[in-house]
């Protein structure tokens, strides 16, 4: 799922297909680290069970849209053309910046996916300075995925729990069962595809 996808396309067509099904999705659940629990409260799955992902019990963390940017990428598989951005909570961002592997418990990575569409309005503005320029922007939202690090709770899946949500609703159990196998090619980077984008 969550992916994170600066390196995803290099794993080949078969992997790219899997990526469409489940990308870098990662969940939000209680972390083993107490600081993460306090810093990243989550929805209560007992009062709103539809908000939790199957298998992992990950929920959508409040405020994830305001987290810091990790990287941006594009994924094209057949007719699917998406722009994707990965964000991290403070624990994840610190690990990315320090190159710390494996990621510490409490790290959460969010991957937001949108359709990729041309922008005629931007093209009109750019045409004077850049004749023939083509501009593309995010279109409609597709889904959001989360990876949540808890080495004890998710020991069977490399220490990561996953969540894939569309319009706030968690995807199917079959979708979530494909998350960890999708991320296994990135085992050397603690099952995370995203790499911290360098500053210009």
SS3 labels along 1-34: CECCCCCHHHHCHHHHHHHHHCCECCCCCCCCCH
Is 196 within the bounds of a domain? no
Is 156 within the bounds of a domain? yes
Contact at 8 Å (CB) between 168 and 131?
A: no
CATH number of the domain within which 96 lies:
3.50.70.20
pLDDT at 141: 97
Domain count, the chain: 1
pLDDT at 37: 41
Domain that holds residue 120: 8-189
Is 17 within the bounds of a domain? yes
Q: Where are the alpha helices (DSSP H) in 85-167?
A: 90-98, 120-126
pLDDT at 51: 85
- Mean pLDDT, consecutive 10-residue stretches, the chain (200 aa), reads 43 38 37 39 42 96 97 95 98 98 98 96 90 93 98 98 97 98 98 96
Is 3 within the bounds of a domain? no
Is 142 within the bounds of a domain? yes
Is 155 within the bounds of a domain? yes
Is 194 within the bounds of a domain? no
CA distances from 191 to 1, 47, 56, 76, 181 (A): 11, 31, 16, 21, 10
Distance CA 163, CA 57 (A): 8
Is 1 within the bounds of a domain? no
Measured in whole angstroms, the distance separating CA 34 from the mean position of its chain's CA atoms is 23
């Amino acid at each position: 799922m969550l992916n994170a996808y600066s390196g995803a396309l290099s794993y080949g067509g078969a992997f790219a297909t899997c990526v469409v099904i489940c990308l870098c999705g990662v969940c939000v659940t209680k972390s083993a680290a107490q600081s993460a629990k306090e810093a990243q409260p989550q929805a209560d799955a007992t009062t709103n069970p539809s908000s939790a992902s199957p298998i992992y019990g990950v929920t959508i963390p409040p405020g994830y849209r305001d987290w810091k940017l990790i990287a941006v990428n594009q994924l094209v598989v057949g007719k699917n053309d998406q722009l994707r951005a990965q964000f991290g909570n403070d624990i994840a961002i610190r690990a990315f910046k320090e190159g710390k592997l494996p990621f510490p418990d409490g790290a959460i990575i969010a991957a937001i996916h949108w359709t990729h569409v041309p922008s005629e309005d931007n093209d009109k503005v750019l045409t004077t300075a850049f004749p023939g320029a083509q501009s593309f922007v995010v279109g409609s939202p597709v889904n959001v995925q989360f990876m949540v690090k808890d080495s004890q709770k998710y020991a069977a899946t490399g220490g990561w729990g996953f969540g894939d949500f569309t319009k706030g609703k968690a995807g199917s159990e079959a979708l979530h069962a494909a998350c960890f196998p999708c991320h296994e090619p990135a085992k050397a980077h603690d099952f995370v595809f995203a790499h911290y984008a360098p500053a210009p």
